[in-house]
């Protein structure tokens, strides 16, 4: 049996510590994110409307030489996923029971986000998406229910017809106030989409309390990656975001904009939708974890109930 010489052990330990130190000093440049939305997180056996969402993202910090003089940070991203929408229950036996159109929304998008010295943020995006059978909603929901031994679903024969669309999106945020202790701030937020799948506008104040970073370096706006070398402090905070949206078109409720035969059941959306978002975020060097609850008014007057769901998110940077 080989026995290492005594001097081999301290040399190996020194090399290991050197490697760990060098690796630890390397600033993260990439981030992978995963988010799951589900009304079951409310622990009330609810399974309706926006019943499940799987969202994946990859982000990369831009080269610092590409930044404009007034930019502190810039991040590129690719995101995609699937959202499932059902009626008030996952067991629909008659078409008259469908109070919200049944469909999935399968999408892929790219985005670029700019963070400025005046502590504001601008994000621009392009998103490709499809509804109907091509979005594979029935297959996804059946797989989940079989895997977790849940009830047998029904009603997908009433889903919307397949339709493809492109949306352009924009988001803007600007810090309005932060106290001298830097543990509370208020940010103004506005967003909009224009396209074949979604056309809407939204606005909200965002209240954060806890251990906070500025907008260009916070997990809330996915900006912990940095174009310039920087050591980003850990974060732990609560937030509250009461949002109002004006909806012009929603393909998951009205069907494909360019289709004549949109499906067996379609409705008009509520023009004004109100939603309260409350959440908790913890972030350190490599990881971000978040928990969020959303309480929304009816997306369509046809819906029997208002909707609410929970969201869990995690991201890893390297």
Q: Which two tokens stand for residue 154?
A: 């029904």
Q: Does residue 18 lie within any of the structural domains? A: no
Residue 24 domain-assigned (yes or no):
no
Q: pLDDT of 298-316, one tens digit each?
A: 999 999 999 999 999 999 9
pLDDT in tens, 153-199: 999 999 999 999 999 999 999 999 999 999 999 999 999 999 999 99
Q: What is the distance between the alpha carbons of residues 181 and 65, in angstroms, rounded to a whole number?
A: 33
Asked if 38 and 140 touch (Cβ cutoff 8 Å), the reply is no
Q: Which residue range is the domain that position 261 belongs to?
A: 31-317
For residue 2, what pLDDT band results from cuts at 50, 70 and 90?
Answer: very low
Q: According to DSSP H, which parts of the chain are helical?
A: 8-25, 137-147, 251-254
Alpha carbons 286 and 318: distance in angstroms, whole number: 6
What's the confidence (pLDDT) of residue 137? 97
pLDDT at 22: 44
Task: Give dist(CA 305, CA 271) in Å, integer.
Answer: 17
pLDDT tens, position by position, 66-88: 999 999 999 999 999 999 999 99
Q: What is the mean pLDDT of residues 278-286?
A: 97
pTM attached to this predicted model? 0.90
How many domains in the chain?
A: 1
Assess if residue 21 is contained within a domain: no
Does residue 14 belong to any structural domain of this protein? no
d(CA 282, CA 235): 6
pLDDT at residue 244, rounded to an integer: 98
The pLDDT, as a whole number, for residue 15 is: 52
Evaluate whether residue 3 is within a structural domain. Answer: no
148 lies in some domain: yes
User: What share of the chain has pLDDT > 70, as a percent?
Assistant: 92
| CATH number reported for the structural domain that contains residue 224 in this entry | 2.40.128.140
Nearest partner of 309 among 84, 102, 40, judged by Cα: 40
Within a domain: residue 136?
Answer: yes
């Amino acid at each position: 049996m080989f026995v290492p010489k005594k001097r081999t052990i301290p040399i190996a330990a020194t090399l290991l510590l050197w490697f760990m130190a060098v690796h630890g000093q390397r600033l993260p440049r990439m981030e992978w994110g995963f988010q799951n939305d589900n009304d079951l997180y409310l622990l009330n056996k609810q399974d309706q409307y926006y019943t499940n969402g799987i969202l994946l993202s990859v982000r990369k910090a831009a080269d610092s030489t590409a930044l404009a003089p007034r930019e502190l940070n810039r991040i590129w991203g690719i995101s995609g996923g699937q959202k499932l929408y059902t009626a008030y229950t996952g067991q629909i036996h008659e078409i008259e029971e469908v109070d919200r159109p049944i469909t999935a929304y399968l999408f892929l998008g790219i985005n670029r986000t700019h963070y400025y010295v005046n502590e504001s943020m601008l994000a621009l995006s392009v998103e490709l998406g499809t509804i109907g059978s091509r979005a594979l909603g029935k297959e996804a929901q059946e797989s989940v229910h079989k895997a977790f031994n849940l009830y047998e679903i029904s009603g997908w024969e009433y889903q919307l017809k397949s339709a493809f669309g492109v949306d352009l999106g924009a988001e803007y945020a600007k810090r309005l106030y932060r106290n001298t202790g830097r543990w509370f701030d208020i940010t103004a937020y506005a967003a909009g989409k224009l396209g074949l799948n979604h056309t809407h506008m939204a606005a909200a104040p965002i209240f954060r309390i806890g251990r906070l970073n500025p907008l260009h370096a916070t997990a809330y706006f996915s900006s912990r990656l940095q174009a310039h070398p920087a050591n980003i402090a850990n974060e732990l905070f609560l937030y509250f975001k009461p949002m109002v949206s004006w909806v012009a078109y929603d393909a998951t409720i009205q069907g494909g904009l360019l289709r004549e035969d949109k499906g067996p059941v379609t409705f008009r959306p509520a023009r004004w939708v109100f939603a309260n978002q409350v959440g908790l975020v913890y972030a350190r060097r490599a990881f971000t974890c978040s928990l969020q609850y959303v309480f929304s008014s009816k997306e369509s007057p046809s819906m029997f109930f208002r909707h609410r769901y929970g969201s869990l998110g995690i991201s890893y940077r390297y």
